[in-house]
Homo-oligomer: A and B are copies of this chain.
Amino acid sequence: MKLANLADVPTTGRVTLPTEVGAEAEARELLVKLGADAVRNSDGTEVPEEFRDMGLKVYGKRFCNRGDNKWANSHPEELSELYLLSRPVTARSSRVEIQLLAGYFTEQVQVDVQHEPAIWWEVRDRTTGAVVPAANWSVEYESDGETPLTAVDCKVVVDGAEPFHEYTAAYLAYDIWDPVQMYNHLTNGWGDKPHEKTFDNFHPATRAHALAALKQWLEDNPKTTVVRFTTFFYQFSLIFNDQAKEKYVDWFGYAMTVSPAAIEAFEAERGYRLTPEDFVDEGYYHTYFRTPTQRWLEWMDFVQRFTADAAKEFTDTAHSLGREAMMFLGDQWAGTEPYGRYFPRIGLDAVVGSVGNGATMRMIADIPAVKYTEGRLLPYFFPDVFRESGDPAGEAIDSWIQARRAMLRNPVDRIGYGGYPSLAAKFPDFVDVAARVTQEFRTLHHFRTSAPDVLGKVAVINAWGSLRTWMPFMVAHALPYRFTEPYFGVIEALSGLPVEVQWLRFGEPIPDDVSAVIIAGTRGTSFSGGQVWDDPGLVAACREWVDAGGFLLGVGEPSFWLKGGRSFQLADVLGVDQEVGFSLSTDRYPSYARSHWVAEDLPKDWAPYDGAKGVYAIEAGAQVVRENDGYVQLAVNEYGNGRAAYAAGLPYDAVNSRLLHRLLLWGTKADSDRPAYLPDNPLIELAHFGEKNLLAAVNNSREAQTARFRDETGTEQELTLAPWAMDWFEL
Binding site for B on A (CB under 8 A): 85, 87-88, 90, 92, 102-103, 124-129, 162-166, 168, 237, 241, 243, 245-250, 253, 282-285, 287-290, 475, 481-484, 522-525, 536, 539-541, 543-544, 547, 562-566, 569, 572, 579-587, 589, 613-614, 619-620, 629-630, 640
Contact = CB atoms under 8 A, between A and B. Distances in A.
A577 to B, nearest CB: 11
A585 B525 contact: no
Given A250-B585, A584-B484, A284 B565 contact: yes
A641 B583 CA distance: 40
Given A165-B536, A572-B88, A620-B87, A585 B127 contact: no
Given A247-B587, A475-B584, A540-B162, A126 B566 contact: yes
A522 to B, nearest CB: 4
Contacts of A580: 522-524
Nearest to A563: B129
B289 A564 contact: no
Contacts of A585: 237, 248-250, 253, 285, 287-288, 475
Contacts of A250: 585
B522 A581 contact: yes
A283 B579 contact: no
A539 B127 contact: yes
Contact of A587 (B249, B284, B522, B565): B249
A130 to B, nearest CB: 9
Contacts of A245: 587, 589
B522 A90 contact: no
Contacts of A246: 587
Q: Is the interface of A mostly helix, strand, loop or mixed?
A: loop
A103 to B, nearest CB: 5
B540 A87 contact: no
A567 to B, nearest CB: 11
Contacts of A582: 284, 287, 289-290, 524-525
Contacts of A164: 539-541, 543-544, 547
A630 B562 CA distance: 29
Nearest to A587: B246
A584 B241 contact: no
A525 B563 CA distance: 15
B547 A92 contact: yes
A579 B284 contact: no
26 contacts: A85-B565, A87-B619, A88-B565, A90-B572, A103-B619, A124-B564, A126-B563, A127-B536, A129-B564, A162-B536, A162-B540, A165-B536, A166-B572, A241-B587, A245-B587, A245-B589, A248-B585, A248-B586, A248-B587, A249-B587, A284-B582, A482-B629, A482-B630, A524-B582, A525-B582, A613-B613
Nearest to A482: B630
A483 B128 contact: no
A433 to B, nearest CB: 33
A580 to B, nearest CB: 6
Contacts of A92: 547, 640
B103 A243 contact: no
A544 B583 contact: no
Given A165-B536, A243-B589, A245-B587, A282 B475 contact: no
Closest 9 CB pairs of A and B: A126-B564, A282-B565, A164-B540, A283-B565, A250-B585, A164-B543, A522-B581, A127-B536, A525-B581
